[in-house]
Amino acid sequence: MSRRLSGNYPDTNTPMLDTPVRQFKQVVAVTSVSLGTFCAGTVLSWTSPALSHIEILPNATEPISSSSPPNFTVNSKEAAVIASTLTIGALVSAIPTGYFADKVGRKITVIALAAAFFVNWCLIGFANNFTIVVAARFFAGIGLGGICVVAPMYIGEITHASYRGLFGSFLQLFLSGGILFTCLAGNFVNWTYLSVILAIVPVLLGATFAFMPESPVYLLGKNKRNRAEKNLQELRGPFYDISDEINGMEQELMEHAKNAGIIEVVTNRAHMRAIVSAVGVLAFQQLCGINAIVFYTLSIFRAAGTDVSPFLSAVIIDLTQFLCSFVPIVVTEKANRKFFLMLSSIGMMICLTGLGMFFHLKIILSDASFLAFIPLSSLVLFMVSFCMGYGPVPWMLLSELFAPEIKGIASGFAILCNWMCAFLVTFSFPISNAAFGSHVTFYILGCVMGIATLFVHFVVPETRGKTLAQIQDEMNR
């Protein structure tokens, strides 16, 4: 069985790599698999423009946008089910995807996930009732949860350690691009045309990835060294000596040829700290409320009741997230992972608290119009903070913390916890707003980010620039 390795292989006697631009195939492969997270972004943000076509809000008689083809409507509870079903599908696919990728390879797994995204858009395009939309969202969730497992895995295995942080940032960039694109397209085309347009992306993913090289790590695990050498040479460029790197991969596979048992995992300090750290940061990535804000952006701004158009506000938020996703590509290796995570959580804590105060003062004051700048500015800064740390860094840690013998099950478990938290937040967000008020909801999310800051400071190990052996030694102390 193959093992997902960290990408930290000894290369002290190896010539320096060409620049990423000259490693053309590596850049193309990373870009191709990142289309998967673009698909993820489209299914995450679809509810924001799409629900306005079918959801009848309390005290209303028809949807906000009634000119689109669907001939059915849903109430607020059914809308919450549609939104949260995505996370149920992601929960279902999280652990099996890692096993499937080990059995049949990364390429077939990614192409299968592209098919799940495509089925989602086909069902939604022809949906004529609530049940079909829920089924479609379940398929979307399967693609979403699976791509979050296999895309970081593939990038970690094909990229050199020198560029691991750089290429790992592509995932968040493409995710943000998918969110922005869906927000824009969803407000200019109807329900059916939006589905047709978004269905093109998984087709591109499957078509391009079919021509990408299979992971050398997977091939070595299947005793296909010749193909592994060929693929690694293709990825590194014709003038790069791959001998040390391929030998390092093979040596690590031999050293970790057997999966660790449950007893070994729970009694090994390094394994347990790695699992707690990864599960923690991936849980806080969702508990900050990012998916709830993406899902319900328009609803948040309608509730704020400011003079700024909810659609324009949503576009500004999504554009901010997209533009800020370029920043980690430049700075991700300039400072420690923990620094970016703590900076991110502190920033989000301030912004969420500010939103809570706005909705609180809106209840207390007879005229809160002078505070109209707070919702948009707070959410813009929230997105900036998220993209600086909790957007890209948890996925980097997922490929850096785990020893090979536990990476399969541990990665799946961490992703499972991630989507459990996503379901908890996205399902409870509108219910909490209705029961306790938006101010209480945002205060709670702000407190969670305060806890996240302490967690990273005291629990999460630093991984930047360290080999797998160094990381494991540090976690054993």
Per-residue pLDDT of 199-213, as tens digits, reads 999 999 999 999 999
93 vs 97, 140, 412, CA distance in Å? 6, 11, 9
Residue 233 lies in a domain: no
Verify that 292 and 157 share a domain, yes or no: no
Q: What's the whole-number mean pLDDT along residues 397-408?
A: 75
Residues 309 and 201 in one domain: no
Check: CB of residue 172 under 8 Å from CB of residue 44: no
Summarised one tens digit per residue, pLDDT across range 259-303 is 556 666 667 788 888 899 999 999 999 999 987 887 677 677 777
Query: Would you say residue 9 lies in a domain?
Result: no
Q: Please, which pLDDT band fits residue 64 given cuts at 50, 70 and 90?
A: low
Could you tell me if 426 and 300 lie in one domain? yes
My answer on whether 166 and 293 are in the same domain is no
- Give the pLDDT of residue 146: 92
Helix axes 438-458, 404-436, angle to 10 degrees: 160
Q: Are 283 and 155 in the same domain?
A: no
Structural domain containing residue 173: 18-212
Residue 310 sits in the same domain as residue 423: yes
Query: Do 292 and 206 fall into the same domain?
Result: no
| Same structural domain, 85 and 148 | yes
Instruction: Taking the CA atoms of 442, 448, 449 and 450 in sequence, report the sign of the dihedral they define.
Output: positive
2 found inside a domain: no
Q: How many CB atoms lie within 10 A of CB 191?
A: 19
Which of 203-217, 223-237, 238-252 ranks highest by mean pLDDT?
Answer: 203-217
247 lies in some domain: no
pLDDT of residue 309: 74
In a domain, residue 184? The reply is: yes
- According to the model, what pLDDT value does residue 259 have? 59
Domain stop point among 212, 234, 269: 212
Mark whether 203 and 265 lie in a shared domain. no
Location of structure tokens 């990229």: 159
Q: What is the CA angle 82-83-88, rounded to 5?
A: 85
- Pick 20 or 221 by higher pLDDT: 221
User: Is the same domain home to 384 and 475?
Assistant: yes
Domain boundary at 147, 180, 212, which?
212
Q: Is 276 helix (H, G, I), strand (E, B) or coil?
A: helix
- Higher-confidence position of 227 and 190: 227
Task: Decide if 254 is inside a domain.
Answer: no
CB-based contact 332:324 (threshold 8 Å):
no
Task: Judge whether residue 136 has pLDDT over 90.
Answer: yes
6 pLDDT above the threshold of 70: no
Which residue, 157, 186, 212, sits at the end of a domain?
212
- Determine whether 198 is exposed, middle or buried from the number of CB atoms within 10 Å of its CB (0-12, 13-18, 19+): buried
Cα pseudo-dihedral 450, 452, 456, 457, rounded to 10: 20
Other Cβ atoms less than 10 A from the Cβ of 53: the count is 19
Do 264 and 201 share a structural domain? no
- The whole-angstrom separation of Cα 464 and Cα 164 is 10
CATH assignment at residue 58:
1.20.1250.20
**Whether residue 310 sits in one domain with residue 444:** yes
**Residue 288 resides in a domain:** yes
Q: Is residue 275 part of a domain?
A: yes
Instruction: Report the pLDDT value the prediction gives residue 206, as an integer from 0 to 100.
Output: 97
User: What's the total number of domains in the chain?
Assistant: 2
Full-model pTM: 0.77
